[in-house]
């Protein structure tokens, strides 16, 4: 106990985490101790059970999750860090364009592609790096990014990620030659099937499968007519499905694909809102992406509040969508996405006494519906 008292005293000064620093390093030069105890309200396990207890972390790995009282180095609401299942981080070079249609914004000759094509490598790398740091700052520990620009575009993202303690899954996109898939990609990330020649899509998918890579594709955003074609390539992940009807969703459930919903993006582009309740009742693995950074910040807090109030009045399900479900879709659930012994300690501690959270009747509901990055006391 003596060492713990010392550690607590050392950490008494106000702290904040350096988003670009190595994992477990706090600002002001304080290192986290090898054994760290977090106590208070724990959102524990893959079912996100709320319990009063504590979490023991040893060398960055969760060692124990226990019920009961124990003095910890930090006391608050202890949650798994978020997983942002779908981003386009390079789009952050041109934030908040005028309101415009989906085709004008992200279509093959839309604003996004014109801007990306004319941007220098240095600007793209800097912009992506800032956005990824901001994701860390807002409690995200892992993300899946659709990286355009062929293998060179993927190289730029790898440069942007250097030294940042975030897990990533890169979904690359060949430009002309379907063989042009960067070896560092976890998968291919395709636009709607309507944007390509059918033969090209089939060839890209065939090569991706040969190389052991996943297949992710946008579908059901501008309309529902591309959903059947998307399902025909047997994707692992479908993005959007905001226009899908119940029969489409039944087919998706049968396929076993995960679905990433991006409702903030859908509001901007007027692409409708996804029927998440139906998706969940069909037992689809539904996760959340902040999507295009031109139109959205990377903060998952904004999505949680929107989804819980407008689409799914079930805080636990919404929280799972932003943590363990995303980890499952990105093949990371063995390592992160929940507070379980043996997993990496990618956790957030919220200050339950903050001006914003004090008075909460339900910690999980408050995290989902109200919390802000400024309520974060610690994230590792
Ligand atoms: Zn997208």
Q: What is the domain-level CATH number for residue 354? A: 2.30.40.10
For residues 344 and 307, membership in a common domain is answered with no
Query: End of a domain among 291, 307, 329?
Result: 329
For residues 273 and 371, membership in a common domain is answered with no
**Per-residue pLDDT tens for 206-263?**
999 999 999 999 999 999 999 999 999 999 999 999 999 999 999 999 999 999 999 9
For residues 73 and 89, membership in a common domain is answered with no
* C-alpha 86 – ligand 1 centre gap (Å): 7
Query: For position 300, which CATH number holds?
Result: 3.20.20.140
For residues 131 and 250, membership in a common domain is answered with yes
For residues 203 and 128, membership in a common domain is answered with yes
pLDDT bracket for residue 106 (50, 70, 90): confident
* C-alpha 106 – ligand 1 centre gap (Å): 9
For residues 107 and 245, membership in a common domain is answered with yes
User: HEC profile for the chain?
Assistant: CHHHHHHHHHCCCCCCECCCCCCCEEHHHCECCCEEEEEEEEEECCCCEEEEEEEEEECCEEEEEEECCCCCCEEEEEEECEEEEEEEHHHHHCCCCCCCCHHHHHCCCCHHHHHHHHCCHHHHHHHHHHHHHHHHHCCEEEEEEEECCHHHHHHHHHHHHCCCCCEEEEEECCCCCCCCCCCCCCEEEECCHHHCCHHHHHHHHHHHHHCCCEEEEEECCCCCCCHHHHHHCCCCEEEECCCCCHHHHHHHHHHCCEEEECHHHHHHHCCCCCCHHHHHHCCCCEEECCEECCCCCCCHHHHHHHHHHHHCCCHHHHHHHCCHHHHHHCCCCCCCCCCCCCCECCEEEECCCCCCCCCCCCHHHHHHHCCCHHHEEEEC
**Per-residue pLDDT tens for 28-82?**
345 788 999 999 999 999 999 999 999 999 999 999 999 998 889 999 999 999 9
* C-alpha 218 – ligand 1 centre gap (Å): 6
* C-alpha 362 – ligand 1 centre gap (Å): 33
* C-alpha 223 – ligand 1 centre gap (Å): 15
Predicted model pTM: 0.92
For residues 36 and 148, membership in a common domain is answered with no
* C-alpha 292 – ligand 1 centre gap (Å): 6
* C-alpha 87 – ligand 1 centre gap (Å): 6
For residues 58 and 141, membership in a common domain is answered with no
The chain-wide mean pLDDT, for the chain, equals 91
* C-alpha 196 – ligand 1 centre gap (Å): 16
For residues 117 and 94, membership in a common domain is answered with yes
- Domain with 283, as residue range(s), is 82-329
* C-alpha 297 – ligand 1 centre gap (Å): 14
Looking at the structure of the chain, the number of domains it has is: 2
For residues 43 and 108, membership in a common domain is answered with no
* C-alpha 289 – ligand 1 centre gap (Å): 8
For residues 195 and 57, membership in a common domain is answered with no
For residues 173 and 37, membership in a common domain is answered with no
């Amino acid at each position: 106990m003596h060492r713990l008292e010392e550690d607590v005293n050392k950490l008494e000064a106000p702290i904040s985490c350096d988003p670009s620093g190595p994992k477990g390093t706090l600002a002001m030069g304080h290192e986290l101790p090898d054994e760290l105890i977090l106590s208070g309200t724990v959102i524990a396990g893959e079912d996100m059970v709320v319990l009063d207890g504590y979490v023991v972390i040893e060398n960055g790995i969760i060692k124990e999750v226990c019920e009961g009282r124990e003095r910890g180095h930090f006391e608050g609401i202890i949650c798994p860090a978020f997983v942002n299942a779908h981003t386009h981080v390079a789009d952050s070079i041109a934030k908040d364009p005028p309101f415009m249609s989906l085709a004008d914004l992200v279509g093959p000759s839309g604003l996004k592609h014109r801007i990306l094509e004319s941007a220098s490598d240095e600007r793209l790398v800097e912009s992506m790096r800032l956005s990824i740091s901001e994701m860390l700052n807002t409690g995200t520990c892992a993300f899946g990014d659709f990286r355009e620009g062929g293998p060179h575009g993927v190289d730029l993202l790898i440069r942007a990620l250097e030294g940042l303690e975030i897990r990533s899954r890169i979904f690359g996109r060949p430009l002309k030659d379907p063989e042009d898939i960067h070896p560092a990609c976890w998968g291919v990330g395709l636009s709607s099937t309507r944007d390509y020649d059918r033969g090209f899509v089939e060839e890209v998918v065939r090569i991706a499968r040969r190389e052991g890579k996943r297949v992710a594709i946008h579908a059901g955003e501008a309309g529902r007519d591309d959903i059947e074609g998307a399902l025909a390539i047997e994707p692992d992940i479908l993005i959007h499905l905001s226009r899908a009807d119940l029969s489409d969703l039944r087919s998706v459930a049968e396929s076993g694909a995960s679905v990433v919903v991006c409702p903030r993006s859908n509001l901007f582009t007027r692409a409708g809102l996804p029927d998440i309740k139906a998706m969940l009742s069909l037992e689809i693995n539904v996760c959340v992406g902040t999507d295009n950074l031109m139109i959205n910040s990377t903060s998952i807090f904004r999505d949680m509040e929107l989804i819980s109030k407008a689409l799914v009045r079930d805080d636990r399900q919404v929280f799972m969508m932003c943590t363990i479900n995303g980890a499952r879709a990105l093949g990371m659930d063995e390592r992160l996405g929940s507070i379980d012994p043996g997993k990496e300690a990618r956790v957030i501690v919220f200050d339950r006494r903050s001006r914003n959270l004090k008075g909460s009747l339900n910690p999980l509901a408050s995290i989902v519906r109200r919390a802000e990055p400024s309520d974060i006391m610690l994230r590792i």
